[in-house]
Amino acid sequence: MADVRIGISGWRYPGWRGDFYPKGLPQRGELAYASRRLSTIEINGSFYSLQRPSSYLTWRAETPDDHVFAVKGGRFITHMKKLAGIETPLANFFASGVLALGPKLGPFLWQLPPTLGFDAERLSRFFDQLPRTTSAAAEIAVRHDDRLGGDGRAYTSAEVEMPIRHALEVRHDSYRTAAFVDLLRDHDIAAVVADTAGKWPVIEEATANFMYVRLHGAEELYTSGYTDEALDSWAAKIRRWSGVDGRDVFVYFDNDAKVRAPYDAMTLMSKLGLAESG
């Protein structure tokens, strides 16, 4: 059966304290709390900077056995290097501790900047460098540079042999083309279905054996919530992708500004008959 997981993008939001997070809950207990209500969480701190293996090990230990993390790729690779000349940055990223998640490692999200248009050759070179198994990721990780030199800063072993899946989120209108969709299918990369309140393209094509959905806000980016009718619509799509098409589905709510994300996620789980993670 297809695996359907609904969750949130990040979990450390001061505005959630005393609302989604019970009053008095220590900050260190927030991940444990959220992960027992949602079956997946997207790690987005990895986008802003290289995290440490000790952090990934802690996150793994604090979550239920069946929890799965998505990991957002570093912006140094996507936004600063713009996918070019990334051999060492990619090695540093995979050596930073992502493999320490072990069996809880889920898909990787790569988000391109709005200024980067469609370039088939650039994307193909990037896709060819992405590891498709944890052992391949470990082989890349050992090529890290001195930034991850010592003191447990690098994690370069694959505890379990697992496939690795990748999803790409784009934010430029030039990606509205069949050539882009075909390229993703050729490389088995999922097109992120991103609801961005109309700001950036929505691509709902199935291009891999799983779907990756990011819900940033129905009417106002990162702020507005989803109506009951809107969540019914998303539930119907998820049933089609998972039931009819047999694809795993990962959904992350990123409308965090007014504490809508966790509640919308739990409502969608309820509509799909999914139990809390426990």
- CATH code for the domain in which residue 124 is found: 3.20.20.410
Contact 203, 193 (CB under 8 A): yes
- Whether residue 138 lies inside any domain: the answer is yes
Per-residue pLDDT band at 224 (split at 50, 70, 90): confident
Per-residue pLDDT band at 151 (split at 50, 70, 90): confident
- Whether residue 278 lies inside any domain: the answer is no
- Whether residue 231 lies inside any domain: the answer is yes
Q: Kindly report, residue by residue over 44-54, the tens digit of the pLDDT.
A: 999 999 999 99
Tell me the whole-structure pTM to 2 decimals: 0.96
- Whether residue 139 lies inside any domain: the answer is yes
- Whether residue 276 lies inside any domain: the answer is no
136-146: average pLDDT = 96
- Asked whether residue 223 carries a pLDDT value surpassing 80, the answer given is no
In eight-state DSSP terms, residue 22 is P
- Whether residue 201 lies inside any domain: the answer is yes
Residues 27 and 58: their CA atoms lie apart, in Å, by 14
Lowest mean pLDDT among 16-25, 130-139, 155-164, 269-278: 269-278
Contact 109, 72 (CB under 8 A): yes
Tell me which residue has tokens 């969608």.
Answer: 268
- Whether residue 173 lies inside any domain: the answer is yes
Per-residue pLDDT band at 278 (split at 50, 70, 90): low
- What is the amino acid identity at position 19? D
pLDDT of residue 150: 67
pLDDT of residue 50: 96
Q: Kindly report, residue by residue over 58-114, the tens digit of the pLDDT.
A: 999 999 999 999 999 999 999 999 999 999 999 999 999 999 999 999 999 999 999
- Whether residue 237 lies inside any domain: the answer is yes
Bridge partners of 107?
none
Tally of domains within the chain? 1
21-49: average pLDDT = 97
Contact 66, 277 (CB under 8 A): yes
What's the domain range around 237?
Answer: 4-271
- Asked whether residue 190 carries a pLDDT value surpassing 90, the answer given is yes
